[in-house]
């Protein structure tokens, strides 16, 4: 998907429309840890049980072809960064 480097958007902090700089939120991979060290919900739906009512079985690594890309907008007046609330799923993101 092609997106402009600068986009006119409403800044809730300044309470006016400004030309905001567009960039991508960089996501970090979560480190592999023992399942016992995680919270209960993550353990329960984790790799061992595959959901709430399933039997223990081996997981299959199936990766999706696209990833969700969240955009962040920086206001030049107040220097606040606002995120787009629902990220878009896309293969490639480039700025024009």
Q: List the chain domain ranges.
A: 2-95
pLDDT at 21: 94
Both tokens of 36, joined, read: 């016992």
What contacts 24+ positions apart, CB below 8 Å, involve 88-92? Answer: 88/1, 90/1, 90/66, 91/65, 91/66, 92/1
Of the chain, the percentage scoring pLDDT greater than 70 comes to 62
Q: How many CB atoms lie within 10 A of CB 20?
A: 21
Q: Topology of domain 2-95, per CATH?
A: Nuclear Transport Factor 2; Chain: A, (3.10.450)
Supply φ then ψ for residue 43, to 5 degrees. Answer: -65, -40
When pLDDT is cut at 50, 70 and 90, the band that residue 74 belongs to is: very high
The candidate with the shortest Cα–Cα distance to 1, out of 63, 88, 85, is: 88
H-helix or E-strand spanning residue 95: strand 94-95
């Amino acid at each position: 998907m092609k997106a402009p480097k600068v986009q006119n958007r409403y800044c809730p902090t300044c309470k006016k429309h400004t030309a905001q700089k567009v960039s991508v939120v960089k996501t970090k991979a979560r480190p592999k840890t023992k399942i016992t060290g995680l919270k209960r919900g993550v353990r329960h739906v984790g790799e061992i049980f595959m959901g709430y009512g399933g039997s223990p079985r081996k997981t299959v690594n199936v990766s999706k072809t696209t990833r969700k890309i969240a955009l962040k907008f920086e206001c030049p007046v107040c220097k606040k960064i606002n995120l787009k609330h629902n990220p878009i799923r896309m293969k490639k993101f480039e700025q024009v």
